[in-house]
Structure 1
Amino acid sequence: MTHRDKGGFGLYLSVFFSKETAMSPLSPEILHEIRRRKTFAIISHPDAGKTTITEKLLLFGNAIHMAGMVKAKRAQHYTTSDWMEIEKQRGISVSSSVMQFSYAEKEFNLLDTPGHEDFSEDTYRVLTAVDSALMVIDSSKGIETQTKKLFQVCRDRHLPILTFMNKVDLEGRDPFELIDEVEQVLKLPCFTVTWPVGQGSRFKGVYDLMEKKIRLFQPGKLTRDFHQEVFSDLDDPALRERVGAEWLDKLKDDLELLCGAGHDFDEAKFLAGNLSPVFFGSAVNNFGVQELLDAFARYAPSPRPRQAEGRQVRPDEEKFSGLVFKIQANMDPKHRDRCAFLRVCSGEFVQGMTVYHVRQEKDFKINNALQFMSQERKNVDRAYAGDIIGIHDRGNLRIGDTLTEGEALKFVGIPQFSPDLFSRVELKNPIKNKQLQKGLEQLSEEGTSQIFRRKNTSETFIGVVGQLQLEVVKFRLLNEYGADAVFTPMNYSVSRWFHAEDPKAMDEFLRYYSSHVFYDVRGYPMIFFKNDWEREYIQEKHPAFRFYSSLINYEQECL
């Protein structure tokens, strides 16, 4: 790779803000604050090291002073981003977390997401709230299934992506193979920023192709305060002695290949999600993480325009607007609270301001808005486009809601998919029915599960996208709401929302398939199928009907 920086990574800010904000009515101070925002998510396959790298980014961002370790690795500290009791017990992430910190005169909003496929819908929603993404790949395994799925969501949204090849201090695949796999499997050209010297037990450090320096590897650091040996001259005898002639000669050969066979940096391609800067390192050992954070400060875009029905909303617009992309109950078990996560899409939020709730067509005042460090929170007086804030909510807000200063905007793109694992829910102790219904309702509003009912019955049914998600629902109902419920599996594995233009045809369909038809919390009809064969058979039998696996598509085309 020739590694020329065409136009400079920082050029995006000057281009976007000089063209789009020249006529902005916002003050220079507010525009400056918007420019400083960097909002990104981390995506990966489970066990690639996503939660660990989240911790280390926070460490170098001075948000924490010692990196926690997942309980599964038997350390004394839980990870900052894994805050639910079930996450601490299992050493997994089952909920997205928001963490905010400052670094290099920038304000970062980092969204850690569940890696497990059962919680991918939560991750999809988070990706509607960010401006860029970090893709973490296990260097011993390469591209894995969940990484492919989440990458495709990023590509559909044209998100700029930085890539971190993790665990290079363990035995793994050849780095050229890893780069080639990203380019071939994901069709994502790579711009290599750092390159490993050695691998596994023979890992010596990384060469920075931008800075023309070698940083030598030092393992096992939990804090950010440690010295790194850096060499600028590859012919330095001291470097040859430290690294070894074999690995130094191999590095020189690798650099010749990189400089002759790769991609130049192209700012437009990077910002469109069609070119990824790649870094190698070891998150658990803090190695290569600070360089990655420096890259986000320099490369990642500031808040970008967001699509609403009818128009784009620019971050530098005078009026405040925001999108609710997540609901979370019981972040503080002592208070049994309910919090709506809102991405500020334009303008400035001021504590105590009155906003317009577009769906409910009414105004309300926001007091005690919050900023986050995982489950820790503090009141925030002001927030700007790109920031994530929390709003205390009593059940008025839903995922996908838009808040404005009066305009009837509706931001688009919040996904919800049809579930494929269904159970009938019954209480062991009927006295706890109120707690059960409250728990199911709140977990449904979070997007953790979906509630269904049949006409003329009091039975409650639940739908999820995987077994682990069902176990989380059971655990949280018992531990957060005191509702010990029995979940009886149902013989269905596919579901679809459906619609026909002819009311008579709809009535006949509902009567004929009454045992298969359920209604979601909005009252929308869904049909449950035993398998894909049955789904295909019924769809072919009723060509006048449209069937939807995505709620967005159903609402856009049928309501």
Structure 2
Amino acid sequence: MSFVKTLFGGLPGRAQSVAAFHNAVATSAPLAAQQTYSVPVSMLRRFQSTSTEKPADSADIKRLSMLRNIGISAHIDSGKTTCTERILFYTGRIKEIHDVRGRDGVGAKMDSMELEREKGITIQSAATYASWGDYNVNIIDTPGHVDFTIEVERALRVLDGACLILCSVSGVQSQTITVDRQMRRYNVPRLSFINKMDRAGANPFRIIDQMRQKLKLTAAAVQIPIGTEDQFRGVVDLIQWKALYNEGDNGENLVSKDIPADLIELATEKRHELIEQLANVDDNIADIYLNEEIPTAEQFITAIRTATINLKFTPVLMGSAFKNTAVQPLLNAIVDYLPNPTEVTNTALNIADNEKPVELTPYSGNPFVGLAFKLEEGRYGQLTYMRIYQGALKKGSFITNVKTGKKIKVPRLVRMHASDMEDVDELGAGEIGAMFGVDCASGDTFTDGTVQVSLSSMFVPQPVISLSLSPIGKESPNFSKALNRFQKEDPTFRVHVDKESKETIISGMGELHLQIYVERMKREYNVECLTGKPQVAFRETITQAAKFNYTHKKQSGGAGQFGRVMGVLEPMELDEETGKDVAFENRVIGGNIPTNFIPACEKGFVDALEKGPLIGHPVNGLRMVLEDGAAHAVDSSELAFRIATKNAFNEAFAKAKPTILEPIMNVAITAPTEFQGAVIGGLNKRKGTVVDTEIQEDYFNVTADVPLNDMFGYSTELRSATQGKGEFSMEYKDHQPVQTHVQEQLIQEYKKKEAAKSK
């Protein structure tokens, strides 16, 4: 029996695993000597190099080498949740398959929220774990909709590897580009899976070209399809040089056969392309390529794994999760190509040593360090998702919140399986779990108290849209309780009370984002709410520098008020390091303004930023430089200088050619080609600027930059213009100046509103 037949032939569904692969390798020649999965020497060296800790024990190293923490990410509707459902079935975690929009009304396991099942979308990322042979895989299924981008952000912050899913027809879409950017931000190695190979118009090689051009990835197929569209039956594995078919009611049996004769030529061409791409990133493969030889399966696997972990290469697999085809090879690829926790460098900041970066070693004998990356309100109190980077977390042990310094006892530890949970006594280094009853915020670092280190927090995008919110009928305590909980769970959801109108304002990433929270208040807290017209997050700024020289005097018998400030207000670019685009600079010399009044001047500057003079929106993109001033021995006070600075700001702002900035959205639309004229006409009407158009057979994709203020009600317009066949997604791009006539209009509306209030 050939090596590959030993590997794949006739293995029953759930026993079919990487364990079988290792056994096959161990008993076959000539790969037996080469294909070993023992612990790499570099990994042992890394463990033993930590001077303060005792050396790692072999059981812990073996456990870590058999662990994978992965996320499944993609554009909306690419099949992430369906793919996760099949993975859970083939690994034996669930006994039946249910689909996202299934007729049985059960819904996918990972979409546990009632709203998710109704709308057929993922709203919250869900965690689970599964076993594939001897390997343990922690999986986080993330939402695809851009409004819930924070869920993807925090998942990628704590994962070691990711699976990027692409649709075989739509390919690289707007949210795919966003997910790619997030993966790069956290240096997450990924493999790609081209899903929906059974769809009409499926073309995986066009998608691979898009990955190279749009995402600038060194990507190559490690499989080719056997048939496409409704004829899709399986894949050819270019590494093992065998055809793989799924048999059984749910595709649980993976059967290996010889490659069909009509595919030999294409398979040879694509394997040559794979070798070429790998030769660009791996010296060993380059030598083999120059000698015009074919690498062995073991050489392929080693080269792909090394290049993937080093972020130099992306292997591309293909299949159809919905049709239960080629999901098991994806699982094999996950354990073969994605890193274990020891192969990823995680650093923390040592608070005791001027925030000097220190490398964390994922070994259970080291001092405990963990990150709370997600919060949920569970049935038994707050559920805190935790990634353990170092040491072990034990039930009943005491841990310290680095931010607050509070010492807390761990009352209950669980492993998550979507909404279900399984109690455990201990979570080792590199694992992901959850604990109950611990009060903390998302992004808090926990240690055992012996080390003072903090993990860097995740990137949180700024909200772009706001709604006024008021409960229908009598206000109940549940209203504020719900808003507090949602804010704690989701850093992109903000709540504040407008000082003048006294209305509760909620802000978020998009209309759907806020709609979901309003709906959740009704379902989970029995609070029905009325929402006001959406408000766009305008900003005010200046376009040129202006000097100020302002004196604040007030005399009303007895001690008066006196403060004089001089300086300049100037435009400021965003500082990439700090992420700030406003600053207050003190350049006063000679003590003309006593140093104890400088903080009051800064407070006056901060007061002025809150509400701009043009339309009452926050001000950004400027620096206030305080150069000189004067004080009175009796009449000067902190209040006088605070008022003087605020008034000086407003005076200089008016002279510095102020402008209003509006959020510009990057809008991606897909619709049948016959509606192209209507769609582009609709974008022009909404002041959109077309950035890119692409035609793919019967469909076209258009990307445009459109002001958010002009995007309200667009979904209804697009549906009617395309007979319900068009779909779009939008994502915040940046703030840009509004047109002059729009600025005049906004200022007039603001003045009318202010005049109405003063009556």
How far residue 250 of structure 1 moved from its aligned partner, in angstroms, is: 5.2
1:467-486 matches, within 5 Å, as: 467-486=511-530
Task: Quote the RMSD (CA, aligned, Å).
Answer: 2.9
Residue 243 of structure 1 corresponds to none
Q: Residue 317 of structure 2 contacts residue 330 of structure 2 at CA under 8 Å; is this kept in 1?
A: yes
Check if 1:305 corresponds to 2:345.
Answer: yes
Residue 45 of structure 2 corresponds to 19
Q: Residue 196 of structure 2 contacts residue 202 of structure 2 at CA under 8 Å; is this kept in 1?
A: no
How far residue 350 of structure 1 moved from its aligned partner, in angstroms, is: 1.5
Check if 1:510 corresponds to 2:539.
Answer: no
Secondary structure at the aligned position of 2:85 is classed as: helix
Q: Residue 206 of structure 1 contacts residue 217 of structure 1 at CA under 8 Å; is this kept in 2?
A: no
| TM-score, length-scaled by structure 1 | 0.83
1:446 alignment partner, one of 479, 482, 489: 489
Residue 584 of structure 2 corresponds to 501
Secondary structure at the aligned position of 1:531 is classed as: strand
How far residue 138 of structure 1 moved from its aligned partner, in angstroms, is: 0.6
How far residue 169 of structure 1 moved from its aligned partner, in angstroms, is: 1.9
How far residue 490 of structure 1 moved from its aligned partner, in angstroms, is: 4.7
Unmatched 5+ stretches in structure 2: 1-30, 280-302, 350-355, 540-578, 586-598, 620-659, 665-706, 708-734, 739-759
Q: 1:395-454: CA deviations, max 9, x gaps?
A: x2111100001122111141212100101221112331x101110011111116112235
Q: Residue 171 of structure 2 contacts residue 207 of structure 2 at CA under 8 Å; is this kept in 1?
A: yes
Q: 1:222-278: CA deviations, max 9, x gaps?
A: 363x4x44213x4xxxx56xxxxxx43554564465366543435443112220111
| Shift in alpha-carbon separation, 1:340–1:457, aligned structure 2, 3 A | farther
Secondary structure at the aligned position of 1:322 is classed as: strand
1:171 alignment partner, one of 196, 200, 212: 200
Give the letter for the 1:286 counterpart.
N
User: Which stretch shifts more, 476-485 or 266-275?
Assistant: 266-275
Give the letter for the 1:501 counterpart.
F
Residue 698 of structure 2 corresponds to none
Q: 1:132-190: CA deviations, max 9, x gaps?
A: 00011111111111011101111222211111111112223433222222122211112
| TM-score, length-scaled by structure 2 | 0.62
| Shift in alpha-carbon separation, 1:383–1:85, aligned structure 2, 3 A | same
Residue 136 of structure 1 corresponds to 165
> Aligned equivalents of 1:345 and 1:9: distance in 2?
29
The structure that has the greater radius of gyration is 2
Give the letter for the 1:429 counterpart.
G
Residue 288 of structure 1 corresponds to 326
Q: Residue 662 of structure 2 contacts residue 737 of structure 2 at CA under 8 Å; is this kept in 1?
A: no
Q: Residue 280 of structure 1 contacts residue 288 of structure 1 at CA under 8 Å; is this kept in 2?
A: yes
> Aligned equivalents of 1:494 and 1:208: distance in 2?
53
Residue 573 of structure 2 corresponds to none
Check if 1:263 corresponds to 2:301.
Answer: no
> Aligned equivalents of 2:176 and 2:143: distance in 1?
12
1:68-147 matches, within 5 Å, as: 68-70=98-100, 72-147=101-176
> Aligned equivalents of 1:297 and 1:532: distance in 2?
42
1:411 alignment partner, one of 455, 471, 481: 455
Residue 222 of structure 1 corresponds to 250
Larger relative contact order (CA 8 Å, sep ≥ 6): 1
> Aligned equivalents of 2:235 and 2:402: distance in 1?
51
Q: Residue 464 of structure 2 contacts residue 537 of structure 2 at CA under 8 Å; is this kept in 1?
A: yes
Residue 240 of structure 2 corresponds to 211
> Aligned equivalents of 1:437 and 1:211: distance in 2?
59
Check if 1:371 corresponds to 2:415.
Answer: yes
Unmatched 5+ stretches in structure 1: 241-246, 519-528, 539-559
| Shift in alpha-carbon separation, 1:378–1:20, aligned structure 2, 3 A | same
Check if 1:488 corresponds to 2:503.
Answer: no
Residue 56 of structure 1 corresponds to 86
Give the letter for the 1:435 counterpart.
N
How far residue 287 of structure 1 moved from its aligned partner, in angstroms, is: 1.1
User: Which stretch shifts more, 505-514 or 39-48?
Assistant: 505-514
Secondary structure at the aligned position of 2:475 is classed as: helix
Q: 1:94-137: CA deviations, max 9, x gaps?
A: 00000012222111110000011110111111100100000111
1:531 alignment partner, one of 662, 665, 683: 662
Give the letter for the 1:66 counterpart.
E
Q: Residue 356 of structure 1 contacts residue 363 of structure 1 at CA under 8 Å; is this kept in 2?
A: yes
> Aligned equivalents of 2:452 and 2:420: distance in 1?
33
Secondary structure at the aligned position of 1:462 is classed as: strand
> Aligned equivalents of 1:266 and 1:250: distance in 2?
23
Q: 1:278-336: CA deviations, max 9, x gaps?
A: 11111112211101101112221111332222222221261111001111124x4xx5x
Check if 1:41 corresponds to 2:71.
Answer: yes
| Shift in alpha-carbon separation, 1:139–1:159, aligned structure 2, 3 A | same
Residue 65 of structure 1 corresponds to 95
| Shift in alpha-carbon separation, 1:431–1:292, aligned structure 2, 3 A | same
> Aligned equivalents of 1:393 and 1:266: distance in 2?
43
How far residue 36 of structure 1 moved from its aligned partner, in angstroms, is: 2.3
Secondary structure at the aligned position of 1:258 is classed as: helix
> Aligned equivalents of 1:516 and 1:254: distance in 2?
59
> Aligned equivalents of 2:478 and 2:274: distance in 1?
63
Q: Give aligned pairs, total.
A: 503
Secondary structure at the aligned position of 2:531 is classed as: strand
> Aligned equivalents of 1:173 and 1:30: distance in 2?
44
User: Which stretch shifts more, 451-460 or 382-391?
Assistant: 451-460
